[in-house]
Amino acid sequence: MTVLQPLPVAQDDPPVSLWRDAWSRLRRNRMALVSLGIIAILAFAAIFGPSLTPYDFLSQDLGARNLSPSLAHFFGTDELGRDVFSRVVYGTRTAFIVAIVVTTIAATLGIVLGACAGYFGGAFDRFIMWFTDMTMSVPQLLLVLVINASLKPPLARFMEEQYMLTQNPFFRNSVIVDFVLVFGSMALISWPGYARLIRAQVLSIRNRPYVTAARALGLDTPIIIMRYVIPNAIGPLIVAISAGLGAAMVLESAFSFLGVGVNPPTPSWGNMISDGLQVWRNYPHLLAAPAIVLGIATIAFSFLGDGLNDALNPRGSK
């Protein structure tokens, strides 16, 4: 009598996940992983660096002016005897704060307007796209200059009035005015790109079967957009946000370089490059240190964006 042996039980395969597959592809991209490591180091420096540096970023020592890089001062000192390494590290915090806040504001505004324009269409879509095109047609530098020239004096007067009323030293902090203007002006010129991207994604998603089924079930339009439309358009948006963080750092540095961004004494890579450019022939380290760090950060975000694009959109990878 033949005894039938039970068939081996097949192990269930792990469920397919877009994010698991994307992470698996991203791990195989060495440049993306190296870039992610560099960004993590810069983020650590932005959070904890100023409390770990050997010198205060505002501390002056006129007896140690314009020193070359050494073990005592890794990046040398500037014309006021301030430690350049400490100022570059604090500039990392400035760059990350501006990049994160500006990208968050711009992406949120772009997602809301772009998703609504793509989903509803019609006159609302045409108006939003007209406003987007108008914003993108204005030169960025000109728009930032107009915003700073028109809003900085009244905002400074408002802060001074609040100080006189409350005697709170917070309102005497000029950095607050600089950051508010930088955040607002940079977000104003950055949101159209996100709006156009999310609108294009929503146009291709809004008539998909699962969206039609959600409408048939009687779900409210905001729930459909937030639960079914935007999550399925988030892949390209993540790539755009990654690239947008690096672009925001470059924009902030460019505006600070031109004197319409974060102003001294708050360290910014842009105003440090501007100061170093005036004396680079005699003291090249004052220009090289912030410029190299800015270049490394920009390249890291660029390679990470490329890696995320390949990971989230494998059909478009080479």
List the domain range (segments joined by +) for residue 174.
Answer: 22-52+73-316
Q: Could you read off the pLDDT of 226-235 as tens digits, one per residue?
A: 887 877 777 7
CATH code, domain with 310: 1.10.3720.10
68 in a domain, yes or no? Answer: no
Tell me whether residue 244 is in a domain: yes
pLDDT of residue 14: 53
In a domain, 242, yes or no: yes
pLDDT band at 168 (very low <50, low <70, confident <90, very high): confident
Query: What's residue 16's pLDDT?
Result: 53
In a domain, 114, yes or no: yes
Per-residue confidence (pLDDT) for residue 37, from 0 to 100: 92
7 in any annotated domain: no
pLDDT of residue 8 exceeding 70, the answer is: no
Q: What is the pLDDT of residue 38?
A: 92
Q: What is the pLDDT of residue 318?
A: 47
Comparing 145 with 87, the larger pLDDT belongs to 87
* Residue pLDDT, tens place only, 176-194: 777 788 888 888 888 898 9
253 contacts 112 by C-beta, under 8 angstroms: no
pLDDT of residue 68: 85
- Identify whether 6 is part of a domain: no
Whether the predicted pLDDT of 287 surpasses 60: yes
What pLDDT, on the 0 to 100 scale, is given for residue 315? 52
- Interval 202-222 mean pLDDT: 83
Average pLDDT score over residue span 234-262: 82
Percent share of the chain, pLDDT over 90: 8
Best mean pLDDT range from 2-16, 34-48, 225-239 = 34-48
Question: pLDDT band for position 127 (50/70/90)?
Answer: very high
With bands split at pLDDT 50, 70 and 90, how would you rate the model's confidence at 317?
very low
Comparing 102 with 10, which gets the higher pLDDT?
A: 102
The percent of residues above 70 in pLDDT, for the chain, comes to: 92
Tell me the average pLDDT of the chain.
Answer: 82
How many folded domains does the chain comprise?
A: 1
pLDDT band at 53 (very low <50, low <70, confident <90, very high): confident
* pLDDT score at 314: 54
Residue 268 reports pLDDT greater than 60: yes
Give the per-residue pLDDT at 40: 93
pLDDT score at 313: 66
Say if 59 falls within a structural domain.
no
283 in a domain, yes or no? yes
